[in-house]
Amino acid sequence: MKALESAPRRYDLGIRLLSFGHIDKVHRRIAEKFAAEGVRVLDIGCGTGSLAVVLARRGARVTGIDVSPQMLDIARRKVEQAGLEQGVTLLQMSAIDLDERLEADSFDLITGTLIFSELSDDEQHFVLRQCHRLLVDGGRLVIADETVPPSWPKRLLHLLVRLPLLVVTYILTQTTTHAVRDLESKIAAAGFEIDWREATLLGDFQTVAALRR
Amino acid sequence: MRRSKARTKNAVGGYLSDVLQTALRFLPFPVKTGLRRLGNPDRRSPVFVTGNFGLTVRRVARVLRGIDAYLLVANTRGINVWCAAAGGHFTTDDVVSVIKTSGIGDLVEHRRLILPQLSATGVERSALEERTGWRPVFGPVYAEDIPAYLDNHYRKTERMRTVRFDLGQRLEMAVMWAFPISTIPLVPLLVWWRGLALPFLALVWALALLTFVGFPWLPRRAVVSSEHTLPGWTRYLIVFDQRSQKVLVVWAMLVAGLAAYGRLAAGWHWTAILGWGLAGLAIALLISLDLAGSTPVYKSGLHEDRLLRVELDLDRCEGRAICQQVCPKNCYEIDSKLHKARILSESECVQCGACIVQCPEDALAFVDPVGRRIPPEQIRKYKLNLTGDRVVSA
């Protein structure tokens, strides 16, 4: 989503169009299921703060981190407009600094939407290990992202549906996201027990929730 | 035996990917990031960093054959080093990330990290050192110069610091333009006008090769901006622009060849010659749309309204020569007695911003045509997007 990120003002609209409104629904689902009064949440790659706001509305105390200061500018404005300054803290930092800047066992819930597809495999493993360190025992991790469909007929169908969109994105941005492979096994390998999952029909977008063990 | 067979198979696969990725090099081709061992490295072997564009990684590994070293492949989203660094896809964070996740710190006893020189516009030397304890140095522009750089005790010659546009690179650029321009219309041509497919291919490839192989013989005026700029969009079209009309000589030669062949050998009607001539013109225009920007040695001609100038604040400058080490156009000279830098040739600058990003004294800045100063903090923070605006945050 690099082109969209380079114009954060258009990011929300762009993502909403590209995902056909799906992303809002995903945020709402996550908030309804896992956010509650007083829950300490870390939102990795919070972007323009859409999820952070939805979570904070339900009483959660959210720390949102993002590497882009421009995205955070928008997020800050959104938080102010919603009157949620008390519930949301925003930090400009890369996910690769999770080990140095945040304390162990300091969160009950960690969320990451559309962030894993921006990370390399090594970075994904690093972030998952850090999530394990940052969560309290029994804490919860929720990852939602574009994923590589599980079987080849679905992959083919996915390609056919997405190809025109991919071509347009390529022309506009010369880059694209890289759908995450084997999301569930990566999460499980980092010491989590997956207890809830939701996927689109084609399996090209998944939300996975897991408990820290 | 089996191992050498596997290696041959790998090498063949590698060369096939090279061909494909050269032809489609405007697309990103991400490969696996992380640590690679070259040869049999030990605790004192050098550590190199590069981006994860497939072609780049294979080339670096190839030129380092025979040298025992570690190669850290950073996540540049499959984009080459220079474009990724300028566009905010190859940043300090990406290098910190590959250092941390690869565990390289446990494998070597030293802390010297050799970065590609062209990453200097995106990766901040001092910030990287502060955050990781590693001491980054900028190696040569081209991987092929690395062996000589090591032999020279990590000192770069002027040649190693400078971007070139030699025949090999010019051929690659010709292929980069000719391949997509010739293959995309090939589908309708093969379906409806099969007879035209082969001449069309020949036309595109001939024009692309003529333009880029002949590039050094094009007058300098053809690619470098002058006082004279045309109004509106016409300045983008080489045909209306007198400083570049000599590019059209290439096209005229082609038309003459076509006419001669068509009349003498093939018995074409003059409408056919006219048709091919016009098609050739369209192709020539497309290929030379941003001829200067297609080279590493000139800045793009598409953003003349925001030509920037580098300004040097001599009061701040301490002559530490980092600018000289990172400038790919060799624009700086250092007065070793006065301990001051001097900008040698302003017109050579390609506006990459590397010197500004790396200057430890913040003595350099861009100045736009209206005279506004763009300070180093801003250049470090915001990278270029495709329209040339500094809005992508690093």
Enter the DSSP assignment of A174: S
For residues B120-146, average pLDDT: 95
Residue B230: pLDDT band by 50, 70, 90 thresholds? very low
Q: Is B54 on the interface with A (CB under 8 A)?
A: no
The answer to whether residue B86 is domain-embedded is yes
What number of C-beta contacts closer than 8 Å exist between A and B? 69
| Separation in Å, CA of B186 to nearest CA in chain A | 18
CB-based contact B97 A120, cutoff 8 Å: yes
In this structure, are B330 and B249 located in the same domain? Answer: no
Q: Of the candidates B287, B316, B334, which is a domain's last residue?
A: B287
What is the amino acid identity at position B117?
Q
Interface of A with B in 72-111 (CB under 8 A): 94, 96-97, 99
CB-based contact A173 B32, cutoff 8 Å: no
For residues A158-181, average pLDDT: 70
Q: Of the candidates B143, B161, B179, which is a domain's last residue?
A: B161
What lies within 8 Å, CB to CB, of A79 at 6+ separation is: A49, A52, A53, A56, A85, A88, A90
**Cα radius of gyration rounded to whole Å, chain A:** 16
Model confidence pLDDT, tens digit, residues B151-198: 999 999 999 999 998 899 899 989 988 998 888 888 888 888 877 788
Residue B223: pLDDT band by 50, 70, 90 thresholds? low
**Calpha distance B327→B351 (Å, rounded):** 10
Note the pLDDT of residue B219. 60
Which among A68, A96, A175 has CB closest to B393?
Answer: A68
Q: Is B102 on the interface with A (CB under 8 A)?
A: yes
Residue B22: pLDDT band by 50, 70, 90 thresholds? confident
ipTM confidence: 0.80
Tokens 């090209």, residue?
A: A204
Supply the mean pLDDT for chain A: 86
The answer to whether residue B298 is domain-embedded is no
Instruction: Tell me which of B50, B91, B101 to substitute to probe the interface with A (most A C-beta atoms closer than 10 Å).
Output: B101
Task: Say which residue, A14 or B142, is predicted with more confidence.
Answer: B142
Q: Are the CB atoms for B327 and B314 separated by under 8 Å?
A: no
Q: Is pLDDT of A198 > 70?
A: yes
**Calpha distance A97→A207 (Å, rounded):** 24
Note the pLDDT of residue B198. 84
Q: Is A120 on the interface with B (CB under 8 A)?
A: yes
CB-based contact A178 B30, cutoff 8 Å: yes
Q: Is pLDDT of B286 > 70?
A: yes
Opening angle at CA A181, ends A177 and A182, nearest 5: 150
**Calpha distance B337→B339 (Å, rounded):** 6
CB-based contact B33 A120, cutoff 8 Å: yes
Model confidence pLDDT, tens digit, residues B71-127: 999 999 889 999 999 888 899 999 999 999 999 999 999 999 999 999 999 999 999
Which among A126, A175, A176 has CB closest to B100?
Answer: A126
In this structure, are B273 and B144 located in the same domain? Answer: no
Q: What is the CATH number of the domain that holds B327?
A: 3.30.70.20
Q: Is pLDDT of A99 > 60?
A: yes
Q: Of the candidates B161, B179, B208, which is a domain's last residue?
A: B161
Contacts 24+ apart (CB under 8 A), B238-247: B238/B284, B238/B285, B238/B288, B238/B289, B238/B291, B239/B281, B239/B285, B244/B288, B244/B291, B246/B218, B246/B219, B246/B222, B247/B211, B247/B218, B247/B222, B247/B284, B247/B288, B247/B291
Minimum mean pLDDT range among A91-95, A198-202, B235-239: B235-239
The answer to whether residue B296 is domain-embedded is no
**Calpha distance B203→B180 (Å, rounded):** 13
Enter the DSSP assignment of B392: E
Note the pLDDT of residue A183. 94
Name the range with the highest mean pLDDT among A116-130, B180-194, B248-262.
Answer: A116-130
Please name which of B291, B302, B143 lies closest in space to residue B223, comparing C-alpha atoms. Answer: B291
Note the pLDDT of residue A61. 97
In this structure, are B157 and B171 located in the same domain? Answer: no
In this structure, are B189 and B132 located in the same domain? Answer: no
Q: Is pLDDT of A179 > 80?
A: yes
In this structure, are B189 and B263 located in the same domain? Answer: yes
Model confidence pLDDT, tens digit, residues B232-247: 454 555 555 544 555 6
Q: Is B34 on the interface with A (CB under 8 A)?
A: yes
Which among B34, B381, B392 has CB closest to A6?
Answer: B392
The answer to whether residue B292 is domain-embedded is no
For CA atoms B199, B200, B204, B207, give the dihedral sign. Answer: positive
**Complete domains list, chain A, with CATH:** 2-212 (3.40.50.150)
Instruction: Tell me which of A5, A73, A96 to substitute to probe the interface with B (most B C-beta atoms closer than 10 Å).
Output: A96
Instruction: Tell me which of B29, B82, B97, B387 to substitute to probe the interface with A (most A C-beta atoms closer than 10 Å).
Output: B97
Instruction: Tell me which of B77, B90, B383 to substitute to probe the interface with A (most A C-beta atoms closer than 10 Å).
Output: B77
Note the pLDDT of residue B56. 94
Q: Could you tell me which chain A residue has the CA closest to the CA of B79? A: A175
Q: Could you tell me which chain B residue has the CA closest to the CA of A101? A: B131
Model confidence pLDDT, tens digit, residues A15-29: 555 555 688 889 999
Q: Is B184 on the interface with A (CB under 8 A)?
A: no
Note the pLDDT of residue A176. 60
| Separation in Å, CA of B310 to nearest CA in chain A | 25
For residue B338, the Cα-to-chain-centroid distance in whole angstroms is: 34
Opening angle at CA A162, ends A160 and A168, nearest 5: 120
Supply the mean pLDDT for chain B: 84
| Separation in Å, CA of B34 to nearest CA in chain A | 7
In this structure, are B99 and B215 located in the same domain? Answer: no
Residue B270: pLDDT band by 50, 70, 90 thresholds? confident
The answer to whether residue B256 is domain-embedded is yes
Minimum mean pLDDT range among A189-193, B21-25, B228-232: B228-232
**Calpha distance B368→B174 (Å, rounded):** 33
Note the pLDDT of residue A80. 96
Q: Could you tell me which chain B residue has the CA closest to the CA of A93? A: B93
CB-based contact B97 A170, cutoff 8 Å: no
For B205, the domain range is 167-287
Q: Give the total number of structural domains in chain B.
A: 3
Q: Is pLDDT of A4 > 50?
A: no
The answer to whether residue B297 is domain-embedded is no
For residue B76, the Cα-to-chain-centroid distance in whole angstroms is: 14
Q: What is the CATH number of the domain that holds B56?
A: 3.40.50.11600
For residue A104, the Cα-to-chain-centroid distance in whole angstroms is: 20
In this structure, are B270 and B370 located in the same domain? Answer: no
The answer to whether residue B342 is domain-embedded is yes
Greatest pairwise CA separation for chain A in angstroms: 48
Burial class (CB in 10 A: 0-12, 13-18, 19+), B302: middle
Note the pLDDT of residue B280. 81
Percent of chain A scored above 70 by pLDDT? 85
**Calpha distance B318→B359 (Å, rounded):** 10
Which among A70, A96, A172 has CB closest to B93?
Answer: A96
Intra-chain end-to-end CA distance of chain B, in Å: 48
Q: Is A153 on the interface with B (CB under 8 A)?
A: no
Q: Is pLDDT of A126 > 90?
A: yes
CB-based contact B96 A175, cutoff 8 Å: no
In this structure, are B176 and B98 located in the same domain? Answer: no
In this structure, are B140 and B177 located in the same domain? Answer: no
Model confidence pLDDT, tens digit, residues B351-394: 889 999 999 999 999 998 888 898 999 888 877 765 566 666 55
Q: Are the CB atoms for A176 and A166 separated by under 8 Å?
A: yes
What does the block give as tokens for B193?
A: 């006008």
The answer to whether residue B299 is domain-embedded is no
Q: Are the CB atoms for B281 and B275 separated by under 8 Å?
A: no
In this structure, are B136 and B212 located in the same domain? Answer: no
**Which chain B residues contact residue A179 at CB under 8 A?**
none
CB-based contact B392 A123, cutoff 8 Å: no
What does the block give as tokens for B361?
A: 């004294």
In this structure, are B14 and B152 located in the same domain? Answer: yes
Minimum mean pLDDT range among A144-158, A166-180, B268-282: A166-180
In this structure, are B152 and B7 located in the same domain? Answer: yes
Q: Is pLDDT of B50 > 90?
A: yes
Return the bridge partners of A92, or none.
A66
CB-based contact A126 B89, cutoff 8 Å: no
Q: What DSSP letter does each residue of B180-203 carry, written as one string?
A: HHHHTTHHHHHHH-HHHHHHHHHH
CB-based contact B101 A170, cutoff 8 Å: no
Model confidence pLDDT, tens digit, residues A35-81: 999 999 999 999 999 999 999 999 999 999 998 888 899 999 999 99
